[in-house]
Amino acid sequence: MDELTQGMLEIRHVAGDDDAREAYDALYAETGIENLVAHLGWLLDLCAAGPGQRLLDVACGRGDLVRLARARGIDAQGLDMSQVALAGGRAGLPLGALVAGDGTRLPFRDASFDRLTSIGSLEHYADMLAGVREMARVLAPEGRALILVPNSFGLRWTVLHAWRSGELHDDGQPIQRYGTRGQWQRLLSAGGLAVERCLGCEAPDDWPVGPAGWIGLLRHPSRLLIPLSGWLPPDMASMFVFVCRRG
């Protein structure tokens, strides 16, 4: 594991999973982690998730992606370590759609899911390799996994932030890591996932909406890169999206 993560950038506020669970409960009790529905819809399209397929969203938070997937006829289920997050998302979902669990010990049988998503969560695991191995284990032989993780050299999140502040961008979560495309791909491969495709991705919620958003654009002109992200090389993007199959 140390060889696989060597060279990755890491910010650590907690020692292990127990401390992380408490930290996420506190985070969701206060504000939580919000996702833009349009972004989640694009990710579902990217992994070709369709009606009738079984999908698992690992580290699902309040279940935003699960709710959207079910509206599309996908048999979606979400797992998260935070009971507070799950309690805040269960309204309107069937019993068992959101379950508590550890991403490094998934409570599901081998080859249970046609599609698996991990949206900005793997980089927060205490043991990332164990997490990847579990994703590969529960993925069906012809299934696809979509993994979104941050880039060490993303122009907006890391490079420009360091240029302005002299610091690495800290999103406030218990453990945060940034890696290069090669580092993430080696980790995924070691855990049993073969990368079929890698794309660059920016955070769509940074694009201005309303007067406050345009004022924010004046303060953060790097957001002008968002419409250009589809033409930038993936290695310059804030995040990588890996589409994988079982190795």
Determine, yes or no, domain membership for 210: no
Determine, yes or no, domain membership for 12: yes
Determine, yes or no, domain membership for 158: no
Determine, yes or no, domain membership for 99: yes
What pLDDT does residue 243 have?
Answer: 98
pLDDT over 90 (residue 37): no
Number of domains within the chain: 1
Determine, yes or no, domain membership for 215: no
Residue 132 or 207, more confident = 132
> 10-24, 26-40, 113-127: which range is least confident on average?
26-40
Determine, yes or no, domain membership for 177: yes
pLDDT tens for each residue of 128-186: 999 999 999 999 999 999 999 999 998 877 887 788 888 888 888 889 999 999 999 99
What pLDDT does residue 190 have?
Answer: 98
Q: Is-contact 65 76, C-beta < 8 A?
A: yes
Determine, yes or no, domain membership for 51: yes
pLDDT over 70 (residue 36): no
For residue 53, the domain's CATH number is 3.40.50.150
What pLDDT does residue 43 have?
Answer: 92
Tell me the average pLDDT of the chain: 87
Determine, yes or no, domain membership for 50: yes
Across 222-247, average pLDDT:
79
Task: Show the domain range for 124.
Answer: 2-151+170-203+239-246
Across 35-39, average pLDDT:
67
pLDDT band at 208 (very low <50, low <70, confident <90, very high): very low
Residue 203 or 138, more confident = 138
